Structure 1
Amino acid sequence: MMTRLTLIYTTLALVFAACNDHAPVAENALKPAAVTEPVEHDTDDPAIWIDRKDTLQSLVIGTDKDTQGALYAFDLNGKIVRKSEGLKRPNNVDIAYDVHVNGRLVDVAVLTERETRKIRIFSLPDLKPLDNGGIPVFAGEQQADPMGVALYTRPSDSAVFVIVGRKEGPADGYLWQYRLQDDGRGNLEAEVVRKFGRYSGKKEVEAIAVDNQLGFVYYSDETAGVRKYYADPGKKDDHELDFFAQQGFASDHEGISIYPVTDSTGYLLVSNQQANTFMIFRREGPNAFVAEVPVSTIESDGSDITPVTFGGKYPGGLFVAMSNGRVFHYYSWKDIEGRMK
């Protein structure tokens, strides 16, 4: 009996250790200004929605990644104010403004629903579905489980595009890009317009981010680096523009966030997941490395950032990062900037 109990305790200890196999938070790690209320299962990716009529009513939209998952809306203090349940492993989420739907302009959140192999679209701020049950992606592909997603709004005609990554895929054409269209019946539909993007084959591509002002799309090729392409599918030049951030990461390259300082300058923040830090690169030019900032966030998958200060509540802007513990952490940009010097 004692031997059997010893075996059980040893097994439980090993399982517990495996579930907590991450680097400890550094003693000098930046502390969050706020932490959200926990979701039910497992946070994965946030996106910040700005209420342009009253920025203090802005929301953080975040996914709860589980077979019985949900899309959550948090206020600027981290309190849960709304959620849409019944989603099958929602992964990443992004936001677009002023999308044409049935004769009106609507802000939308678009997320990947991995187990149904669809993207889902919800209006903001009410989280009402606008997709007639979901839009299938990677049609005809054997490996079609969607993970990463990012939205690009083309300045010339306000066309909105969805760029989707997946769990596995080919060495070329790993990402598929769709154009959102009004179906005339109160929902949105999507048409594939481009297949692009190299892939190392080492792990997967989850984090995708679009710089709407400069017209670039970045994505994390996990354990390999960050790749850069033009975001506009109409560009004749469709080759890889850069492949950076190949050094200094403990393992996985994860969430990418873009912080503008001017229309053409600023920073890219990339999660160094297993080190519990964010690697910061120049937004302009060849995306040169700037600094590594340790944070209290544990194994961050996804993040988002805005320069909006919300009445001074988050000086310099708000940075939101997913953390273990079923939560998202809120940071002030000024606090991050202070660690870059």
Structure 2
Amino acid sequence: MISIFHPKHLLPAVLLALAACQPQTASQPASPALSLAPWDIPAKVEDLRFLPDGQALLAASARHGLLLLDRQGAELARLPGSFGGLDSRAAGSGVVVASLDNASQQAMLVDLDLAGRRWGARHYLPARDYPVAGLCLYRDEVANLYLFLVGEDGHGEQWLVGDGRRLLADPRRVRGLPLPPEAEHCQADDAAGQLFVNEENVGLWAYPAHPEADSARAPVDMVAPFGGLQKAAGALAVVPGGLLALDPEAAALHLYQQRERNWERIAALPLAGLEEPERLALRLSDKGLDLLVLDDGDGKLHQGTLDWLPEAPKPAVPLPNVAALRQSEPVARQGDAADDPAIWVNPRDPAASRVLGTNKKEGLLVYDLDGHLLQELPVGRLNNVDVRPNFQLGAGWVDLAVASNRDTNSLSIFSIDRASGELKAAGEVPTPLGEIYGICLFQPASGELYAFANDKDGSFLQYRLDGVGGRVSGELVRRFRVASQPEGCVADDQRQRLFVGEEDVGVWALDARADQPAELASVMKVGEVLHADVEGLALYQSEERDYLVISSQGNDSYVVLDAEPPFALRGAFRVGLNAGAGIDGASETDGLEVTSANLGGPWSEGMLVVQDGRKRMPEQTQNFKFVPWAEVARALKL
């Protein structure tokens, strides 16, 4: 995240970016026309919004409460109280209204039935330990409703307040958001998934609004001499493809058009006759934009029409969302710690199966199917892990887990008791790799077991594992490489095929047999669907169909392909928030695993486990999310 607290501290890169997105005045088209006229209404208001139908208005008043007004300013319905700050979203035949209750100093949400002109029950967020200066609503692509709070001294928060079309009785804090210390106003663009925030003496910022996004911000415009805002950045209003912002000290309205990732300043329009424009509301009309501007200087409202509309972007097609039904306990180390899961299927009692997960700052973790931590094996910085059954260790047979150990550049071996599911460290197989990274296992029908380990330099080593003497050893049987950094890999035991991921390039397939040439065939390249980094790979194998599942880390999604040539694309999805269970979505996923085994209950059609790189709601260390495969199949119509 760029951290900027005053124009003199702006980074050169930000200045260059702004210069690149701001054309010279000489090349600008003629400024849009704007005319404003005073609009007298009986009540003095602090903020106002057009309702979605454009036929009525909402107003927040410190004296008169929340008001529903007609287009002439006459009162239609009132919620008593003292309020400041306002936002709303359509909800069926009514609207959800958010405001700040001045008496309790809390954010409040309430339903408004437009047809009956009735206010519903009030829902309050818990009192915060900082003064809340502003708020705004955001609705994501699956209709979850969030409220952003803007507070003094850089405080910011995102709260889940609605599930579908209903308000939650118990709002949940999703994440903290570091905001500028001089922020007071915010607005969210639901379609674009962006949050806009002002920093009064510095400029305007755009943040990703999605709860699984990181906290990176990008400049929209800066205060002079670094940008086009003459004196200050004030209230904001969003229109598809564009943004409007007030400069209250210069009494001007600025118009912006988004061009891909950059912002173009279209015009700066003087607001003649206004002393200090403080609030802004708009709606789309046949002639452009209908505006309402509240002047803090004289407390009056001004209305008018702006003959300008930005070029609306082509709407993005949202990916289907599936929700995790369970999640693991968070790992015990901070930062980028959790990495790769594996699923061990209990041959006697599938419901007692285990999920293994690596903590690359500590060791191996073992969970039950509800995510409860059962075992910790602190053997070193394990990166990836894989599991296979029926391995002969001395005179007995065990199931085996193998992980890549970055402390020792070795393969860490674990035996799994086939009755209890208990794991025990069973030795190390050294490798000559300089920086071991990913690992996966291959077990052909003939019964022997192979391990593939890779290095960040693109090298792959294939080992034949042997445990007849009671100690696991490894014999190097093949070497090959890809051109750049790999990590994830998975072997199709039945077809003797190995899939490997090259993080910035795509997915390759090759023969998994040690005595065959390692000829790489492209399965899928990074592009419109698969976004770098390519991370975890897993196979869902059933009697009907086999699928390859890929972690597309660059856009927090998961891609599903047929696991046989021509590797047809079956779709992509995201693991989204489960509001009812209080489980956040998954993002920045490194490793994943899937099984088609019937593990009982919600896992009767199998289970998908994904690492979650950003644990939210509440914010904790990383963990793993457990998703019923039936939900993936339903979302992608598999």
Q: Same fold judged by TM-score > 0.5?
A: yes
Question: Which residue does 1:239 correspond to in 2?
Answer: 519
Give percent identity, aligned residues only.
27
CA distance change for structure 1 residues 228 and 129 in 2, over 3 Å: closer, same or farther? Answer: same
> Within the alignment, does 1:64 sit opposite 2:258 as a pair?
no
> Within the alignment, does 1:193 sit opposite 2:452 as a pair?
no
Question: Which residue does 1:91 correspond to in 2?
Answer: 383
**Which residue, out of 305, 311, 320, partners 2:609?**
320
> Within the alignment, does 1:331 sit opposite 2:590 as a pair?
no
Q: Indicate if the aligned counterparts of 1:101 and 1:188 stay in contact, CA closer than 8 A.
A: yes
Amino acid at match of 1:193: V
Instruction: Supply the distance in 1 between the matched residues of 2:505 and 2:474 (Cα, whole angstroms).
Output: 30
Instruction: Supply the distance in 2 between the matched residues of 1:126 and 1:105 (Cα, whole angstroms).
Output: 14
Alignment of 1:36-75 (within 5 A): 36-41=328-333, 42-66=337-361, 69-75=362-368
CA displacement, residues 96-125 of structure 1 (integer Å, 9 cap, x when unaligned): 111111111111110001121111001113
Q: Indicate if the aligned counterparts of 1:242 and 1:286 stay in contact, CA closer than 8 A.
A: no
Instruction: Supply the distance in 2 between the matched residues of 1:27 and 1:176 (Cα, whole angstroms).
Output: 37
Please identify which structure carries the higher helix content. Answer: 1
Q: What's the offset of the Cα at 1:320?
A: 0.5
Q: Which has the higher contact order (CA 8 A, sep 6+)?
A: 1
Number of equivalent positions: 312
Secondary structure of 2:391's partner? strand
Secondary structure of 1:286's partner? coil
Secondary structure of 1:313's partner? helix
Q: Indicate if the aligned counterparts of 1:22 and 1:299 stay in contact, CA closer than 8 A.
A: no
> Within the alignment, does 1:175 sit opposite 2:465 as a pair?
no
> Within the alignment, does 1:221 sit opposite 2:502 as a pair?
yes
Instruction: Supply the distance in 2 between the matched residues of 1:206 and 1:312 (Cα, whole angstroms).
Output: 33
Unaligned runs of at least 5 residues, structure 2: 10-152, 155-176, 180-206, 208-212, 218-317, 576-584, 616-621
Alignment of 1:157-306 (within 5 A): 158-169=447-458, 174-182=459-467, 184=469, 186-197=470-481, 199-201=482-484, 204-235=485-516, 237-248=517-528, 249-262=530-543, 265-295=545-575, 296-306=585-595
Q: What's the offset of the Cα at 1:13?
A: 5.6
Instruction: Supply the distance in 2 between the matched residues of 1:279 and 1:337 (Cα, whole angstroms).
Output: 12
**Which residue, out of 8, 15, 20, partners 2:214?**
20
Q: Give the TM-score of the pair, scaled to structure 1.
A: 0.85
**Which residue, out of 126, 129, 135, partners 2:425?**
129
Secondary structure of 1:319's partner? strand
CA displacement, residues 280-303 of structure 1 (integer Å, 9 cap, x when unaligned): 111122212110112221111011
Please identify which structure carries the higher strand content. Answer: 2
CA displacement, residues 230-281 of structure 1 (integer Å, 9 cap, x when unaligned): 111123x431233423322332111111111327x32111011121110111
Question: Which residue does 2:439 correspond to in 1?
Answer: 149
Q: Indicate if the aligned counterparts of 2:444 and 2:494 stay in contact, CA closer than 8 A.
A: no
Amino acid at match of 1:162: A
CA distance change for structure 1 residues 27 and 288 in 2, over 3 Å: closer, same or farther? Answer: closer
Instruction: Supply the distance in 1 between the matched residues of 2:320 and 2:565 (Cα, whole angstroms).
Output: 31
Instruction: Supply the distance in 1 between the matched residues of 2:542 and 2:389 (Cα, whole angstroms).
Output: 21
Q: Indicate if the aligned counterparts of 2:320 and 2:572 stay in contact, CA closer than 8 A.
A: no
Any runs of at least 4 consecutive aligned residues in structure 1 with deviations exceeding 6 A, and if so which?
A: none
Question: Which residue does 1:113 correspond to in 2?
Answer: 405
Q: What's the offset of the Cα at 1:166?
A: 1.2
> Within the alignment, does 1:81 sit opposite 2:374 as a pair?
yes
Unaligned runs of at least 5 residues, structure 1: none
CA distance change for structure 1 residues 81 and 94 in 2, over 3 Å: closer, same or farther? Answer: same
Amino acid at match of 2:360: K
Amino acid at match of 1:159: E
RMSD of aligned alpha carbons: 2.6
Q: Indicate if the aligned counterparts of 2:178 and 2:215 stay in contact, CA closer than 8 A.
A: no
Instruction: Supply the distance in 1 between the matched residues of 2:460 and 2:488 (Cα, whole angstroms).
Output: 12
Secondary structure of 1:129's partner? strand
Of structures 1 and 2, the larger Rg is shown by 2
Secondary structure of 1:337's partner? helix
Q: What's the offset of the Cα at 1:83?
A: 1.3
Amino acid at match of 2:435: D
> Within the alignment, does 1:340 sit opposite 2:636 as a pair?
yes
Q: What's the offset of the Cα at 1:21?
A: 5.5
Secondary structure of 1:98's partner? strand
Amino acid at match of 1:153: Q
Instruction: Supply the distance in 2 between the matched residues of 1:57 and 1:245 (Cα, whole angstroms).
Output: 38
